[in-house]
Structure 1
Amino acid sequence: MNVQKSLFVGVATAALMGSHAVPAYATGKDATSGGGTQQAVPSQTSQDNEQSTAAQDQAAIPDEIVVTGIRASLESAQARKRTANTIVDSIVADDIGKLPDTNTTEALQRISGIQVSRDRGEGGSVAIRGLTQVLTTLDGREIFTAGGGRGYNLQDFPAELLAGVDVYKTPTADLIEGGIGGVIDLRTRKPLDMDGLVISGSLRGRYQDLVDKVSPLASLLVSDKWDTGVGEMGLLVSGSYQERAFRSDIEAVGAPSERTDLIAGRTIVTPNGDYEPLVDGTRRRIGLGATFQWKPTPELELYAQAGYQEFRSIQQQRGLNNPTNGLSVVPGSVETFDGTDDFMRGTFQNLVSSTFGVTRDTYDKNQQYSAGFDWDKGAARLTGDFTYQHSTNDLYYTEQDLQITVPEATLDLSGKTPTMSFDGVDLTDLSNYRLGYTTRSENHYTGNSYAGRLDGDFEIDSPFLSGFKTGVRIQKMDTAFTPIRFFQPAGATSAANYSSLFETMPFDDFFFSNPTFPHGYYTAVTSNLRNDFDSVRDALGVDAEPAVDPASVYDMSETTVAGYAEMLFKVDSGLRFDGNVGVRVIKTGLSIDGNQRSTVGGVTTITPQTYDNDYVSVLPSANVRFHLTDELQLRLAASQTLTRPNFSQLSPAFTLVPAQGQGSGGNPELEPLRADQLDASLEYYFSPTGSVYLAGFYRKVKGFIFTSSNRQTIDGIDYVISQPTNGDDGTIKGVEVGGQTFFDFLPAPFDGFGVQANYTFIDSSTPSAIADYTTPLPGLSKSSFNISGLYEKYGLSVRVAYNYRSKYLSALYGLPLAGGGSQNIPIYRRGYGWLDASINYDITPSITVTLEGSNLLRTREFTYFDQETRPNNISVDDRQIMAGIRFKL
């Protein structure tokens, strides 16, 4: 971080530390925890008698103060963190649709230790303390999105349907295994926790400035409960609908290589041209949920729950691909950055440019159905749950290209945005173009899961032991992959003969109408590619049809049987402490069916392959919390965790080319990643909404998976096989510091101000595909911080949130050397910040108007090859503004 950012964090931390002199005496009720459906989330048989000073503070208040809004959310989240029996952070929505972000991933980025990637301007994947191997649960039940992996696509779940999110950074024995990074539990609301009949919802419009469109967002929740002759019943139904139009402008500079023919006597590191896609499209997110609860007696609850999430991304890409490798240059045109041998500017001759039109559409559909019971006698509790899930993921990618020869093309890397300009060609004349290649790829994934569990929780009356927990869980998961492929090579035919397939590029404002970029060129009509690909094939005179690629098909089935035992302990005298120690034992059985492709003498054969793998894992864990004072507590934790390889990595599919001695594929022999973990957290709670904390962590991960090449002999032929493999151990270590408070000691109206802030530092060392070479974890920033300025008073709620992450390693690239061979160099993504804000005003106690903004700085993301004078990728996304209303009846 630079000096300004360091000062920024320092001032915020100083404000937090200095603000606890006068405690705030507001109390609130957390009505978000619910029911008997959260069996996977750790529960405490005995809690602290929260805390003696808090009780004295409460006694001093003549009347209870009802807390709502941001304060209620912070108070509930802080209470969950403070009383949990492990290290956990939470986000809580005090009311329907009031998480601070519409995207679940973006809400998670506010938590210390979490870093998110960006996907077309919104939150994408999540890493906890540098590890992307994260398990996601919904009300304590493991959920997943089909697609070759094991995780759940958090983009699928609308944030409006959530009561909150808990992030478990250390495990307990009763937590489902599978996430060495941690567990993210999405919590929904339950009808018996609501106040009778509740009807609430929201209606908003979202404006995206680059694409210049407005999209709708709406949510609705209806919940009620009744006292009947057979007990108390409750029913809750909820739904959310979100649309988002988007646009991304991307300038990708080609990978570098060394050239000795550009400037006499010098070796110049020169990029291979550039790639200029303009991406636009729409996304639709649908979420539906229903929960029924029935308590025939005060001790027994029966429930049923159903959920459905659908995520659809419809996307077009249009632009130019301009490869320059091997092209001669105009003599004297090449310049380098000062003091380097890195190419800065130059003019290439006789460039063959490709214009492209692409459709890339993805569809996720997830269904969950659960039923169970919760029998609670106080000293003994028995819970059971059964869940069925079905998920599908479908990708449709279609591309059609044109080719055109450009006499002179100038690549200029000196400006804020690299550019490529053309001379000597008329891009507006279709007769100057030739047909390029046409391709279509479809990936179809399906997944099913059946899971049942039974858990017992028993109190123990002794000076040390306070409880015992035990349980068993059985899950059967299956997944299948079917790829469909089509490829038509480029031809020499003039594109003028196929005018119905092409149109002039519909956008003329690429990178804010930068005049240097080529304009007016032709691209494929994307509606034809998406809606009527058969007519495209007919127009081209191609009889071949898209067909299943049998070598890449696979079908896998996995059965896990897990059991755990956990002891809870508590000591109230002297140095007060409590905690748990336990062990989880899991037997995993995996069956894989796939195929292997081999080409000999021009003849391709497909051979079925079957693999089976069984193994047992023993995962101990221990968590202890010391109550140093009523406000100060220290947590220590030690545990072992695992994450199983992704299904796509386990695929037995191989493509073998004997003539070249080359092969590639998956690896069904992969072993799980396993981690030894140590954690500590010092937490100081000075008011219901005020706290500061300092946490440290260490992870030793065994068996990191990366792609490697090795020699194998198959049917008497020697091959160099590229496939994923387990590597050596890696380590991750770091610290987190943060806190939150409202400045209640200030005079009105300034007592409505508050702040949240956190900072994370992570250092890592992991094996790579290069022998005896270690790198940081890909996608991991060493430093990241969040700071939110808050104001809440007189019905007005304001939040301004800034998130920053430092540079991180994206990948390794093999730089071809002029003298032969290659040198591996890193690709880094430069650090960047993201600014969001929201304003809410309560017109009445039941109606709130909202105004929200995302990506207000319109952040540019920038990657580079080892040095910033070797740019790789520059992209810019929409600024988003939302306005609307929320209501609660």
Structure 2
Amino acid sequence: MTKRISKNAFELSARGFPYKKTMLAMCVGAAIQPATWAQTVEADAVETDDVKKSSEAMLEEVTVYGVRASLKSAQDIKKNADTHVDAISASDINALPDVSVLEALQRVPGVSIERFAAINDPDHFSTEGSGVTLRGLPNTRSEFNGRDTFSANSGRGLSFQDVSPELLGSVEIFKNQTADMIEGGISGTINLNTREPFDSEERVLSISAQANYGDLEEEWTPSFSGLYSDRWEVEGGEVGVLASYSNSDLDFRSDGAQFGFHKFDETSGRYTPINAGIRTTSTQREREAVSLAVQFENTDGTFSVLGEYLRSDSATTWTEFAFFSDDAAGSPSADSVYDGNGVFQSGTIENISGGLGPQTRQQTSNLLTQDFSLEFEFQATDKLKISTDLQYVDSETDVLDLSVFGGIVGGGLSVDLANNGGKPGLTFRAPNGQGPDFFTNPANYFWLAAMDHVEESEGDEAAIRLDFDYELDSDFAKSVEAGVRWSERDQTTRWSNYNWGNLSETWANGQSTFDGTANGAGYANSQASAFTFDNFFAGGVQGIPGGTVLAGNASLVSDYGTFRNNFDVPNVFRAPLFGREGDANSPYIAAEINSTTETNTSAYVRLNFGIDGDKRMDGNVGLRYVNLDTSVGGGITYPLILVGNNPNSNFTADQLAFANGFSSSEAAESSYDAILPSLNIKYELTPELIARFGASKAVSWPDLGNLRYNYNITSSIDTIDGQATLRSFRQVSGNPFLKPLESINLDLSFEYYFDDADYVSAGVFHKDIKNFFSTTTTTRNITNPSSGVTQPVEVSQPFNVGSATLSGFEFAYQQFFDELPGVWSGLGMQFNYTYLDPSNVPQQNLRPEQFGGETDVDRAAVPYDNLPLQGLSESQFNIVGLFENDKWEGRLAYNWRDDYLLTIREVNSSNVGFDVTTFADARGQLDGSVFYRVNDDWQVGLQGTNLLQDEVTTSSQVDASGTRVFRHSYVYDRRFTLVVRGSF
């Protein structure tokens, strides 16, 4: 029987690159077998003419263990790739070098991860990260095993933070592309490879158990994973099965302090915060993953089939207690200290009149992605291979976000602020010299407001592809590949606005106190409870570090039924989600529902070529054709102006005819096609030194939320001299006719491989990009088809704008110092550095998940014209110290990225009437792990994350000259994980 070659090795062979079957099988085996198994790996035989003439060339045998096996496997993927690729490999089940996919990705040159729950909401920190950029751009495509995958939300790709790392054997980061790759990422493609039955020659039964602890949350949580794989001879061939399961619980916490929005005093020329706040967020996250695979190959190796099922299920609940003011201004004390730029450093904000008080908030999100695939490969002749692939993806996202706000009766609080150049000091003080008992008296609080938000989205995709690979009888042209692919994705996104509603604001129904003694009986009176900020930076409440306040009990926001029973009642909660359009059974209005169908048809042809000899050259050149037909459900609604509601008005006849309330439902349809060429060349200057060049054209599709077709026109009416006067007609929408981003990508690199797991590489890249997505407000003449009247409308929606370039430099180094004496021979290190240089890149000031509101028309412009590209750090690096011998392995990894523009406009800044532009400051993080090999089958270890517990800080730009002020400071758990893993 012909020995089964792993899928990755088979693909490398088909694309014209040399391989050694035994060596590659072992290298891929390193990605799935426990680190405790010693593996005999044949070193690469240098394919010189002399070696080729000798069938008895000797191959050195090297024993490779966990860390080194992982790095060698990743290095082999990079070295043998047919375009510019970096890789991460797991030497063991549940043994990615980090405890999450996102944290592992940040070690790769050019990859950055986001640390906030949403880029326009820096008030909420995300301990595990929430997004990825590659080479400074968010336009990255994600896939499982080379197939499309996604999360059902308003975005385009996969939420990596919700993927269980236990599913994976390796991760490939493609930074350029070949013609056979699915299009969709101008910055690159991140491919998550799962394990397959034939990856191992032997039976595999592995388990891993973990205990996780965070030093702020102070809770132990368990994780477990297991994998079983085996293969058997059957009549006509061989069959293999693989099953894996993992369940991971993790509790963690972050604490934050913030100076609020800063206002400029023209008289003094100073910037002073108008508010301040402290908050504590506890998160419970559970991930469950299942993979099932069945593989068959016939006796002569000419036919194989692989069926796979992947399920990734993530549930995350975070609960936040905060004490802050959102929009109420106090006065700076006379002894306040300012720097030379007039920026507030320390002092007291006195007599805060209102808006200051406790908040209790809880968000629960559930994300489920299932992937079914069936792949056939048939070696029709000695030269022709045919393969086909069937896939179905199903994804669901559900989010419930509830908040209840309290206020302080009478106001008059003060807060001492000190920007200590590090963790800030905040001390809240009761009015009129009252003591700490003020903050524990329920009569001093009232129920201010409540807010709800829900999301229920689902999407599925069916895809089929057919590929041909034909070997050519030529010294130069090695093989030709061709294929076609068809897919259809249907997705419905339901995303309600964050719906704030008054409970007993002072300007409305009066103050209903926590104890029910003021303004009638009140409600939820028994649901106020004490909360202590028990581990805070400095200050707290009334000078007591941490300090105790009263806040709405977490049970009020733990489920929708309790929340609605307390707050969604007539004359209490002013604007509940349910019933906003008269439908008491739905929390969504029409503009919050986005239905999209995309049909993608593509075809490609690719020639693999090469020259053998002392200086070997391999490469590929190809063309890919893609056609995308898009249909977006929606329609258009015109405003309704009733003169009877405005008896004293000066509306014109045309304005009334235009604003007649006409509404229509329809689908907007668009089509796009393109030809995407690609060229990749790998040239061996010496057997160890490789020069690599890549050039391609790529596209990135707009996020589905930006295609939203809800052309709802509103009328903005002012009262001037006692008369109702139309200020303007306004429309906020997505744009179903957006074209994709297009980019010409160029890469040039040199890679020097000087040992099994040792290399150094340096490369430059350049991208010419056009058709950026940016929200812009323009005035357009729109005709109401029912009346035939045309009126100017201020239209705010995403448009394709501008062109730009992005260039950069990447450097990577990896080595084990075997030549050192004694125990020192186990030392090794990794280092990589990335530099990015954008030019004229327009801001992508988009909110794809939201349908927008009238204020977006006024706020579409970028606040300052000297802002860098959102999310792009100019410099970033990783440095990792390694150690491994027969018994011990360890890693100490430090990741650092430069400061970057987090958001051009904070989500809550509309409350204060001006834009707040916020930067994430430069920061590093130290992580580490140590493992002990008990015997050949078992390992125990300890992993640590965020060991230095460094601050995460932000600053806000407050003027066109670039002046920045302190905004946020966060600390989060040092996280420790005890690990036991082994095999039977």
Name the residue aligned to 1:555.
595
TM-score when normalising by structure 2? 0.82
State the Cα distance separating 1:513 from its structure 2 match. 7.2
Distance in 1 (alpha carbons) for counterparts of 2:568 and 2:624: 60
Q: Distance in 1 between matches of 2:57 and 2:933?
A: 30
Alignment of 1:87-486 (within 5 A): 87-119=84-116, 120-260=126-266, 265-297=267-299, 298-323=301-326, 325-329=328-332, 332-338=334-340, 340-342=342-344, 344-352=346-354, 353-376=356-379, 377-404=381-408, 405-415=410-420, 416=422, 417-424=424-431, 426-484=438-496
1:712 aligns to what SS in structure 2? strand
In the other structure, the counterpart of 2:893 is 801
Q: Of the candidates 941, 953, 962, which is equivalent to residue 850 of structure 1?
A: 941
Aligned to 2:604: 564
Aligned match of 1:638 in 684, 695, 704? 695
Residues 483/754 of structure 1: CA separation in 2 closer, same or farther (3 Å cut): closer
CA distance in 1, matches of 2:535, 2:818: 49
What is the SS of the residue equivalent to 1:856?
A: coil
Shift of residue 533 of structure 1? 3.2
Q: Residue 735 of structure 2 aligns with which residue?
A: 667
Separation in 2, partners of 1:810, 1:389:
32
Quote the offset at 1:291 in angstroms: 0.5
Say if 2:819 is the partner of 1:812.
no
On the 8 A contact 1:103/1:158 being kept in 2, the answer is: yes
Change (3 A) 1:237 1:488: same
Rounded to whole Å, the distance in 1 between the matches of 2:945 and 2:827 is 21
What are the superposed Cα offsets for residues 96-134 of structure 1, whole Å, 9 maximum, x if unpaired? 222111201111111111111225222331111111111
Instruction: Label 1:545 to 1:574 Cα distance change in 2 as closer, same or farther (>3 A).
Output: closer
1:406 is paired with a residue of what secondary structure?
A: coil
1:668-817 paired onto structure 2 within 5 Å? 668-714=736-782, 715=784, 716-765=790-839, 766-768=841-843, 769-770=861-862, 773=865, 775-813=867-905
Q: Does the C-alpha gap of structure 1 residues 760 and 569 become closer, same or farther in structure 2, counting only changes over 3 Å? A: same
Shift in Å, 1:478:
0.8
| Worse-matched range after superposition: 188-197 or 414-423 | 414-423
- Give distance in 2, aligned partners of 1:647 and 1:609: 17
Distance 1:816 1:472 in 2: 47
Q: Measure how far apart 1:369 and its partner are.
A: 0.5
CA contact (8 A) 1:32 1:189 kept: no
Counterpart position of 1:7:
none
**CA contact 1:36–1:373 (8 Å) conserved in 2:** no
Q: Aligned partners of 1:441, 1:811: CA distance in 2, in Å?
A: 22
- Of 527, 533, 548, 1:520 maps to 548
1:189 Cα offset (Å):
1.4
CA distance in 2, matches of 1:746, 1:373: 49
Q: What residue number does 2:46 align with?
A: 52
In 2, Cα distance between equivalents of 1:58 and 1:241: 49
Structure 1, residues 837-863: CA drift from partner, whole Å, max 9, x if none?
A: 111111011110011000101121111
Task: Compare 161-170 and 571-580 and name the one that shifted more.
Answer: 571-580
The answer to whether the Cα contact below 8 Å between 1:257 and 1:815 also exists between their aligned partners in 2 is no
Contact 1:552 1:594 in 2 (8 A): no
Comparing 518-527 with 196-205, which one deviates more in the overlay?
518-527
Q: Which residue of 2 aligns with 1:488?
A: 501
Corresponding residue number in structure 2 for 1:501: 527
Distance 1:434 1:408, change over 3 A: closer
1:255 Cα deviation (Å)?
2.4
Instruction: Flag the 1:771–1:885 CA change in 2: closer, same or farther, 3 A.
Output: closer
Instruction: Give the direction of change, closer, same or farther, for the CA distance of 1:575–1:753 in structure 2 (3 Å limit).
Output: closer
1:538–1:80 distance in 2 versus 1, CA, 3 Å: closer
CA distance in structure 1 between the partners assigned to 2:4 and 2:149 by the alignment: 20
Deviation of the 1:43 alpha carbon: 5.1
Q: Percent identity?
A: 28
Deviates more, 1:663-672 or 1:420-429: 420-429
Shift of 1:379: 2.4
Q: Which letter does structure 1 place at the counterpart of 2:753?
A: Y
- Pick from 79, 82, 85: which aligns with 1:82? 79
Q: Is the 8 A contact 1:217 1:243 kept in 2?
A: yes
Change in Cα spacing, 1:413 to 1:609, as seen in structure 2 (3 Å) is farther
SS of alignment partner, residue 728 of structure 1: strand
Following superposition, the deviation at residue 427 of structure 1 comes to 1.8
Question: Which residue number in structure 1 is paired with residue 619 of structure 2?
Answer: 579
Q: Show CA shifts across 1:224-267 (max 9, x none).
A: 1100113200000001111110111122322222124xxxx412
Q: TM-score scaled by structure 1?
A: 0.90
Query: Aligned in 2, Cα 1:156/1:37: closer, same or farther, shift over 3 Å?
Result: farther
Structure 2: distance between partners of 1:233 and 1:48:
24
Aligned counterparts of 1:427 and 1:882: Cα–Cα separation in 2: 38
Q: Larger strand proportion, structure 1 or 2?
A: 1
- Alpha-carbon contact 1:391-1:447 (below 8 Å) kept: yes
Match in the other structure for 1:21: none
Distance, in Å, in 2 between the alignment partners of 1:799 and 1:345 is: 44
How far apart in 1 are the matches of 2:4 and 2:405? 53
Q: Secondary structure of the equivalent of 1:727?
A: strand
- Quickly say closer, same or farther: Cα 1:728–1:73, change in 2 above 3 A: same
Alignment partners' CA distance in 2, 1:772 and 1:255: 17
8 Å Cα contact 1:420-1:518 kept in structure 2:
no
In structure 2, relative to structure 1, the CA distance for the partners of 1:535 and 1:296 (3 Å cut) is same
Secondary structure of the 2:108 match is coil
CA distance in 1, matches of 2:194, 2:563: 47
1:548 positional shift:
2.3
Residue aligned with 2:634, SS: strand
Greater Cα offset, 217-226 or 158-167? 158-167
Q: How many angstroms apart in 2 are the aligned matches of 1:42 and 1:411?
A: 68
**Which amino acid is the alignment partner of residue 138 of structure 1?**
F
Q: Residues of 2 paired with 1:680 and 1:58: CA distance?
A: 36
Q: What are structure 1's unaligned runs of at least 5 residues?
A: 1-30
When residues 797 and 375 of structure 1 are mapped into structure 2, their CA distance, relative to the original with a 3 A threshold, is same
Q: Deviations over 1:186-226 (max 9, x none)?
A: 11111122133210010010101111111111110001110
Pick closer, same or farther for the CA change 1:62–1:362 going to 2, 3 Å: closer
C-alpha separation in 2, matches of 1:435 and 1:130: 44
Counterpart-to-counterpart distance in 2, 1:488 and 1:796: 58
- Shift in Å at residue 272 of structure 1? 2.9
| Number of the residue aligned with 2:561 | 533
Q: Secondary structure at the match of 2:558?
A: helix
Distance 2:278 2:739 in 1: 40
Classify the secondary structure of the residue corresponding to 2:79: helix
Alpha-carbon distance in 2 for matches of 1:42, 1:781: 38
Distance 2:636 2:439 in 1: 45
Count of residue pairs brought into register by the alignment: 850
Task: Give the root-mean-square deviation of aligned CA atoms.
Answer: 3.0
Partner-residue secondary structure (3-state), 1:751? helix
The residue number in structure 2 matching 1:588 is: 628
Per-residue deviation, 1:323: 3.8
Secondary structure of the equivalent of 2:767? strand
Give per-residue Cα distances to partners, 1:511-562, cap 9 Å, x unaligned.
Answer: 3775647732221112232235346534774486733222221211000000
Q: How many angstroms does 1:356 deviate by? A: 1.1
Dislocated runs of 4+, deviation >6 Å = 36-39, 53-63, 602-605, 814-817
Q: What secondary structure does 1:71 align onto?
A: helix
